Structure 1
């Protein structure tokens, strides 16, 4: 499969690219900064320089031409203001969905966040609350589209080595999850058409990734 990854220089995205290459897929990372091209190439991934904050829908459709799927793993990043969180985490996800529709790419995996989909709980840090609202808006936009979408809501991301064991379901207790394991769950979701139109939460657990994905699909379909 040829899979375009928006936010291709991100920490999850680079792990995802390496996992896709290991599986025999062809990842292509979309990056904003030309200085990041060499890093993404070093993961075995193709690269297209495209700034989602200035690109047109036709630019995005061109980047997605010939792809089998797209993963939105972009984000404004820690410390970004509300404006950039909206323009990247919400606006960028919507633009990529528009581009996918124009390019005829039906499969779309959105990397969201646990806590999205509802109003942030009282006491949530103001910056994180803004981030969650942007993610919630991107989810709401995506579920109304005629695409084969899957929404993945990981818990707090860590740089711990992946264990290959997770907990994946419509609702799971709050927790952490290694970025390595998030990447491997995305790979399995991309290769499982029955995961389309599912919203799944993800934390570290005790079930191997392939079995956890299969079980979540059985429960939800």
Structure 2
């Protein structure tokens, strides 16, 4: 089984990823947590955890024995520029560099729609600029990667149906459940390899949408 480090494991989307992977026959999730008191959440689920902080410099211990990484951390669009830069840009870049050094097989990044045009979204500009910098760093890192630029995340029940494209014509929403499944499906090596794509809720089942997108 491949060991998957979930960065942002204590967040709403991260927890969904852990729950799904914990029932997988192919992947063994490892939750990255900032504070030791957060370990109880995962110990109750019998999920392994490692202690590391995106605002620190050394991720070598967190990446030990890890095969692939899902980065689902985010400060959120309402967070101030300084915190956003520390987590969404600098923190992401540091762990991308550490993943390259650790020879991680694939790095899956949860990004955001609008990251290709931050100036068009003034209320989220600093957040999208940070995401854009991290995305670009990953693309240039030499790691195998997938970058998922999701629409606005909701807590609605996932229906397993999406609309995917390298660039969608209009903004939209997508349930966290469906984002979690998209990120997990991206772990499969042939799927969306070295691709950046956008996702909102739609009419096509996730699996067929991913396969179709991968074929180009």
Q: Using structure 2 for the length normalisation, give the TM-score.
A: 0.93
Paired residues, what number? 213
Question: Aligned pair 1:197/2:199, yes or no?
Answer: no
- Equivalent residue, structure 1, for 2:134: 138
- Equivalent residue, structure 2, for 1:40: 42
- Equivalent residue, structure 1, for 2:15: 14
Distance across 1 between alignment mates of 2:47 and 2:114:
31
| Deviations 1:144-194 (CA, angstroms, capped at 9, x unpaired) | 111001100000000001101111111123110000000001111111434
1:6/1:29 contact within 8 Å kept:
yes
- Equivalent residue, structure 1, for 2:145: 149
- Equivalent residue, structure 1, for 2:65: 66
- Equivalent residue, structure 2, for 1:184: 181
1:8/1:40 contact within 8 Å kept:
no
Q: What stretches of structure 1 of length at least 5 have no aligned partner?
A: none
**SS state at 1:140 partner:** helix
1:31/1:37 contact within 8 Å kept:
yes
Q: Using structure 1 for the length normalisation, give the TM-score.
A: 0.91
- Equivalent residue, structure 1, for 2:83: 84
TM superposition shift of 1:45: 2.6
2:76/2:127 contact within 8 Å kept:
no
Question: Closer, same or farther in 2 for the Cα pair 1:41/1:201, shift >3 Å?
Answer: farther
2:75/2:88 contact within 8 Å kept:
yes
2:157/2:175 contact within 8 Å kept:
yes
Question: What do you get for the CA RMSD once the two structures are aligned?
Answer: 1.5
Distance across 2 between alignment mates of 1:62 and 1:99:
10
**SS state at 2:61 partner:** helix
| Deviations 1:98-121 (CA, angstroms, capped at 9, x unpaired) | 111111113001100000022331
Question: Closer, same or farther in 2 for the Cα pair 1:37/1:178, shift >3 Å?
Answer: same
Distance across 2 between alignment mates of 1:136 and 1:111:
11
